[in-house]
Structure 1
Amino acid sequence: MLSGSYNHFLVLISYLVAAVASFVALDMAGRITASQGRAARWWLVGGASAMGFGIWSMHFIGMLAFKLPIPQSYNLLITLYSLLVAVGSSGYALWLVSREELPRKRLLVGAVILGAGIATMHYTGMAAMEMEPGIDYDPLWFVLSIVIAIAASAAALWIAYALRSDFSAFRHFRIAAALVMGVAVIGMHYTGMAAARFPLGSVCGAALHGGVSPQWLASLVGTSTFAILGLALVTAVLDRRLQERTQKLSQSLQQANLELTHMALHDNLTKLPNRVLLEDRLGQAISKALRGSSKFALLFLDLDGFKAVNDVYGHQAGDRLLLQVARNLKSGLRQEDTLARLGGDEFVLLIEIGEPADAAAIAEKMLERVGLAVMVDGTELNVSGSVGIAIFGEDGHTARELMANADAAMYSAKEQGRNGYCFFEPSMNKGMHEQLAMIQELRKALELDQFVLEYQPKFIAPAGQLQGVEALIRWRHPTRGLVPPGTFIPLAEKTGLILEIGRWVLNEACRQLMAWDSEGHHIPNVAVNLSAAQFRSPGLMGKVKEALSKNGLSPTRLTLEITESTAMHDPEVSLAILQRLAALGVRISIDDFGTGYSSLLYLKRLPAAELKIDRGFVKDLVPGGEDAAIVSAIIALGRILNMSVVAEGVETQSQQALLTELGCTSLQGYHLGRPAAPDSIAERF
């Protein structure tokens, strides 16, 4: 027998090639799994080529490491055929591990097919030497080499399938697996080489017939192997980085979606569930209750005195108060309870109960927590709450019914003195239905021309020359009769209709003043009240200009009245708005003065021409009383700020005399003249 020897350096190189090819194969399996359509097919072709070339190159590097004492060469066609076998079997292996599942039976069949392919590649490569006489194989070693090929294939398939999903998480495992697979691949090769017997006198037929020389084969194998493996590895690394970036972007988008979803379902200020999430939880609670597995109650909470906090201390203080109230309420809840904020100072609590008394106990605890003092910028703020309770089944079977009935019960609690709770009763619904009906009718009132203006005169003290008139809106309803402003104005503000109503009032007052002029009745000035919503609306300037221009009215004959609390709500913003209005030439009057919280620093900067003393200080006015002292102080302040001072609500001769004595500039009230229709005003003046 001819004995051969091995170049140990080339043996090491063959192992490294097998290990690198195994690593690339594992990586390709992940790439194929992560891709779809055409991209997955191209990864399969590229992976099969890289893995096939790697196994084929390992074989021929091993053959180059083997030296016989005779010239060696290889048949080019047979060599290339062995390469095709390697690529084909590799392609099948990668396709197999890219499937969603790899059951044991399929694993065994795949291992047999892949192992047979590798063995075929090996022995076809041996046949490329065209030995004469042919190579004699030891049966035991021959069978062992095929067993090793199948076992190595089974291990490779299982490892590739198991580690295909996440490259970064299994990086170290893949390197170790590639090293083990490299040992298995070269183990098959060198076991097959150990099975080969070369009889004495054997010659290499490929060398005699002009086959590929070992040197040329070494160049071909080395160049093609490292080019293909290098390209595959670089491509895989770049793709992996792209996928990592894509994954990070996907995670960022997912996080953003989660945040957006959270924002859509929670209140921005308190982070409590909002109306949308509450309705979902309420729907779940109803479904659960209908199955008979629970009973629940809905508690509707509205804060008492919160508007006063906003008016006096501003919205920032109000927000901080709401935030602390929400924390106090949440601190005593169970995990299964849902506390939601509907907006403003309205909260709703959804709780499971055993009996109605449980809801009452929870309501009492809520009122206790709402009543806790809250410190804001060193100031102690106190509010109370009114709670309405509706029980599922007894007080409604739908979310809408329960919400409406709990709301009605809450209003009943307010009417009974506030800082308490009420269970819903059917009689409470009457008031709610009437309110909803009035809102619907209010929406149509402008279209149906049901609003009218009455005008109340203002006189220079004590009761001399007419200074002007104040326009006061009235709603003449066809069935309800005369609806007082105190009834429908809050509804108009609540629904946003106040903006359109206010626009109509402004235009009608200007029109009427010019109509009086054309009739020969000289009314010096008309005053129009602006609601807080009107004052803050972006279109205010345009509406004022439109009313003046449309009716040809001089701006100096129009007075715009805003309440003190509205002017001081956000002083800097109010100052800017008032300055723009004053620049038009209209007069500014601060109404209800003395009831709000004015800063003298801002008050002296306001371009106001008039202060109106609230009727509350005039109602009980007597010489030497507290109200007289307050009125006297307001009048003195007006003089210092160069503003005229108007007292409204003058109903008696004694009030008229005392206000004149105190130095009030102008007077307005029932004693001097009641609000009247335009014709009555025209007859009088």
Structure 2
Amino acid sequence: MKLFSNEPVKDAEEDSVSVIMSDDHARRIEILDDFEQAGISWLWATDVAGNLVYLSEKAAASLNKSIDELLALPLTSLFENDPDNPDEKSDRPLKFHLSKRSKINDLIVRRVPHTLGQEDHPTWWLISGHPKFDDLGNFQGYRGNAKDVTLEYQRKLRESRMAEFDSLTGLANRHRMDNRLNSLLAAFKVANRSCAIMMLDLDRFKQVNDTMGHPAGDELLKQVAKRLRSIIGDTGEIGRLGGDEFQVILPDLSDRGKLGEIAEKIVKIISQPYPIDDKSATIGTSIGIAIAPYDGVTKEELARSSDLALYAAKNSGRGQFRFFSSFLKNEEEERRLLVDDLRDALVNDQVELHYQPVVRTDDHMIVGFEALMRWTHPERGEVSPTVFIPMAEELNLINQLGEWALRRACHDALQWPKSVRVAVNVSAVQFANSGFPEIVMNALATSGLDPERLELELTESVFLGDSDTIDTAFRTIKELGVRLALDDFGTGYSSLSYLRSAPFDKIKVDKSFVDSCTQNDKNSAKIIAAIISLSDALEMETTVEGVEAFDQFRLVCSKGARYIQGWIYSKAMRLEEIEEKLGSGELSIEPDGPDLYRPDRRTVFRRIGAIHDDHRYDVVMRDLSKTGAMFEGLMGVPIGTKMVLDLGAGQLVVSTVTRSDESTVGVEFEMPLVSDGAGGLCTRHRASPYELSAAGMPSAALPAGNSSTTPDMSGLSGKARFMQVSGGGH
């Protein structure tokens, strides 16, 4: 019976189970080995400290490392979350999961760049893992699996980039910029933070495409993008919205002084020549600026505001920036009407020529006149040439307008003494016309004017056209005996090469240098002296433009200026005035003007608010500068009184009374104003509509449409301390 006792039977069962378990373990190991070798997925494990204690050999091979090199290294020293990851599910970093000992599900990580060898390439892994705990709940480390997803991930990155970035320039596209702006505005609205956007449009880009070809246009756009990156850096995001239209988003920036400086820098750098296929292309840019929450609180509102500001900048002469303001809203419709009126003006002789004298400084004798176009609209009055000349170029009317001006100037100059020349401005579009030399010949032949008395003023933009056509035009015009002048000299960046290649007789120093030549912190005086010396060395004449005051006059004369064109001698005159003056034998003009040039003083007539204590007065501003203002409408205001001027649209200026004469009050600003990009002035900062409403500011001070609350008027209805008179108006 012992043969059938329980003991021997039990030993047999244990041996059988042991064999089965051994077979299962071996089979499991074999399956795992096959699984790892097949590359379906790799296995990894860490200890309590997060250091690798196991890694599949295939995984190590994909990293170009041996198992011995990798074991005991922290997992986080090898991999990190990819900052360019388009997968929104992977927003929590690897370190976060490991520190929280949470489960990891399909997390895409990138190999840490500094672990890459010279022959290695970036690698991305998809990893999963779970924390392991013992029976007592003690953390033992991680167990997980991973696989190489580099090819799939790079494809996803490319697709994501194609969806969000412009393939030509590498800048963000419209889709990405819209999403970026929407998310910023949503976040910033909660915190009452500001955000500025700039809309840029390239001037004369179409001309590059038409004259140099689309490949040249593409290359130019790439160079523009590179220049924008160098200016904006990390302070904002740049996008190409399509064609030659760009946008810049600048978070947390509402200082219009700084925004103006950035815009001016962009205009200056974008206007530098572009080397393309051994040629040089010159363009410009116009910029419209809008700021949230003052000019809009949604993407659509800001885009509309910046578009209107850009439109105004282009219509004001291009190559400048413009801040949005509420009065721009109807400018688009106004321009449409103006376009129709310009066509009628050419038919109805509403455009005429006025002539500004060029005077020799030695004896104040008139040596010539520059013909300047003037358009007096029957309803709108004077329309600036900076508005209608670009308009004529866009409408293909510039050749017709330019030919008329050339014929009229030649005819008018016949009435003057033979020693007096006439200068006519020629646009780049006109000069690029292959028939332009013949137009010049016909104007001279019809009028009978001596070619030596005709001077054609050109800017560097003429060199943008077809070089063969330009060279032929230069050669033919010089053979006629007509003089050539390079206008706005010094504002471009390759003027010396133009002087070497084109037969100019005269250089004209741009007014922008004269405006700042008496300021100690500017180099304009040195530049003027250098231009005059260069002109002398090349045996050319030099005319200095824009001299208005005696301090400027004395300075430019001391630098060698022999010819001056500016208000200190005369503004542009009608033909009748010139004929009367010259007919009486008066060929000289004595200089007359202010002693000192004051560029920032502006005569205005504008209703504003003057706030003192808790009362707001309505007054009329008569004079405005960067540092102060003069207004009328209050009596009995002591000198030294602190006041806040409400210039509208959230523009509040803290000021101190420095003059009080009956109802006239002069104030000095605590913080200077800055340029608004349109020849006017504005405050650096604005009080937001939320702040104004909370402070009980009258509705006139609130930006239109951007404040949802009705301000409490009681906050500024206290007792008046000063007498308001009719000069300020009720």
TM-score (norm 1): 0.43
More strand by share: 2
Query: Whose relative contact order is higher, 1 or 2, with alpha carbons under 8 Å and at least 6 apart?
Result: 1
Query: Bigger radius of gyration, 1 or 2?
Result: 1
More helix by share: 1
